[in-house]
Amino acid sequence: MASKNIYYQSYIKLGKWQLMAKNQGSFIYSLAYDLRKKLLSIYKEKGISGDEFSVLAALTLGVKDFLSDDITKSYSSSGAMHILAVSGLHVGIIYLILNSLLFFMDKNRLLRVLKAIVLIVFIWFFAFITGLSPSVRRAALMLTLIIIGQLSGRHPSIYNSIAVSAFLILLVNPLIILQVGFQLSYAAVISIVYFQPKLYRIFEINNWLIDKVWALTTVSIAAQIGTFPISIYYFHKFPVYFFLSNLIVIPAAYLIISLAIALLLFNSVGFLSNFFAFLLKYVLLGLNFSTQLIEQLPFSSIDNISFSLLENILLYLLIAVWLIYFINNRRMFVIYASLVLVFVFFTSRSYRKLRAGIKNELVVFNSGNTALIAIKQNKDLLLFTDSSFVGSKNYEYLTDNYITRKFINNTYLIKGDFLNLPNIYLKNNYLKINNLRIVLLNDNHFTDRQNTQKLKVNLLIISKGFNANIQQIIDLFEFDEIILDASLASWRENAIMRDCATMNIIPFSVREQGAYVLPVK
């Protein structure tokens, strides 16, 4: 967030904000957003709705607001998520379509200059209405340089075009180098440019159709070579059938963008626009069905892969070593260097895994309206939460990275008081882990009790449903710390904070301070 110049965040209640000014932004961006709304309304008017509309909006206009969790998961697990993020692939398709349509302008130099201007204008127009993401800017800049170079009669180096586009983007915003989209975009294009021709030449295929399939497969493999360390580092998953999904989604994307352009161009011609909308809808249906089918294949996605920054760098060094082999054919150097890098990689990973396995802890997650308390016991994770919350998007958002980073093998949802685990005791909201004693206060279970002697505990965790005052709690317990779970209503938390202040107690607010983590010995 800091790399995007965002340093603070706050929650504002509905109706508690005031508009200070309007029409103060960029006129060009405003025009682009208005046009994007118009184009989206055309899609809806032609009867494209549901998942087909959401995919079409993301694929052609870069609008991902309408994507459902299910469709996002399908595209991610099948390795087709890149198709929903407008990138260089989409800009390249636009260029190929327009270049083919304007073939008649190659007859003389004046027409070629005019064609170059039209191509550049339309490429940047598409870049603006899709939000000018780093990958789109890179592709638009690179194609602009190539078009200008070809117009001058030269054939510029693709590597120089990539370098110049990166330099100009970073000149405007140096911190964009920290963004995942920028890193993935340049890693993918450099890898494709270098590896794809070498992979393609491995087999010589005479059949036209098989040759095209092989060409697309090599593009997918080349892109994965350059991007899989970054993808795993940030997203912790690897789509096994990426090559299969790309055989479907890349041709489908070309067809969808072509039909979308035709639909928008002939929108005023009723029968033609309806025909293109009909074709577009069923191509999108087929694309969504294909990705969902690939997602359901066995082992479609390897999840919860943990790479550290060091391990990520080692993987790229390994790729660089093999580049040396392709360039200089230094076989022995490649073998020795590869062995050393692989050894260091697995040593680092094994060390992290060993440390994570022996470190136990209690975590009170910042989970919003539903309490989520977890105990990490070696490679198991015990969860105290509402069963309906498990599997939700918010639950996965909170726990996926933790499970990956801590090398968790199994998760258990604790129901009732039965716990068949060593060193852990649970009874009537009283939890004992080794020497750590915890009481979970999420109802009035303890408020009607009277003790002749206070119960000594380490932690009191107050969650949603608690309806007592702090004095009642003090009368019952002798405690070290109070944790206010994020599931508490704001007014209830504020009341507890005021009561604690009068008694010189400083509670830990999960809502304000983030997740509470306590090592368990």
pLDDT band at 286 (very low <50, low <70, confident <90, very high): very high
Listed by start position, the domains of the chain span 26-299, 309-358, 361-520
Give the type of residue at 351: Y
Residue 447 has what pLDDT? 61
Please, what sign has the CA dihedral across residues 487, 491, 495, 500?
positive
Average pLDDT, the chain: 84
- DSSP letter for 90, please: H
Burial (0-12, 13-18, 19+ Cβ within 10 Å), 446: buried
Residue 250: alpha-carbon gap to chain centroid = 20
Residue 241 has what pLDDT? 86
Check whether 512 has a pLDDT greater than 90. no
Residue 224: how many other CB atoms lie within 10 Å: 20
User: Using an 8 Å Cβ cutoff, are 163 and 141 in contact?
Assistant: no
Q: What is the DSSP string of 386-425?
A: -TTTTTSHHHHHHHHHHHHHTT--EEEE--TT----TTEE
Check whether 396 has a pLDDT greater than 80. yes
Separation of alpha carbons 305 and 339, rounded Å: 22
How far is residue 221 from each of residues 193, 228, 242, 311, measured CA to CA in Å? 12, 10, 8, 21
Residue 346 has what pLDDT? 93
How far is residue 151 from each of residues 137, 144, 146, 444, measured CA to CA in Å? 21, 11, 8, 78
Q: Indicate the Cα dihedral angle 345, 315, 81, 58, nearest 10°.
A: 130
Separation of alpha carbons 290 and 250, rounded Å: 12
Residues 318-325 have a mean pLDDT of: 84
Percent of the chain predicted with pLDDT > 70: 96
420-450 pLDDT tens trace: 677 788 887 888 888 889 888 887 666 666 6
Residue 452 has what pLDDT? 67
Q: In what order do the strands lie in the sheet with 436-441?
A: 424-427, 430-433, 436-441, 459-462, 481-484, 508-509
User: Using an 8 Å Cβ cutoff, are 135 and 185 in contact?
Assistant: yes
How far is residue 189 from each of residues 59, 141, 220, 224, measured CA to CA in Å? 19, 13, 11, 10
User: Using an 8 Å Cβ cutoff, are 158 and 193 in contact?
Assistant: yes
pTM: 0.77
290-304 pLDDT tens trace: 998 988 888 888 888
User: Using an 8 Å Cβ cutoff, are 84 and 67 in contact?
Assistant: yes
Residue 417 has what pLDDT? 60
Separation of alpha carbons 437 and 424, rounded Å: 10
Residue 8 has what pLDDT? 84
Separation of alpha carbons 454 and 462, rounded Å: 18
User: Using an 8 Å Cβ cutoff, are 480 and 453 in contact?
Assistant: no
Residue 207 has what pLDDT? 85
113-148 pLDDT tens trace: 888 898 898 888 888 877 777 677 778 888 888 888
195-238 pLDDT tens trace: 888 888 888 888 888 888 888 888 888 888 888 899 899 888 88
Give the type of residue at 166: A
Check whether 340 has a pLDDT greater than 90. yes
**CA nearest neighbour of 444 among 424, 415, 465, 427:** 465
How far is residue 243 from each of residues 76, 218, 231, 322, 458, measured CA to CA in Å? 13, 8, 16, 22, 53
Separation of alpha carbons 82 and 518, rounded Å: 39
Check whether 14 has a pLDDT greater than 70. yes
**CA nearest neighbour of 496 among 476, 473, 521:** 473
475-494 pLDDT tens trace: 888 888 999 988 888 888 88
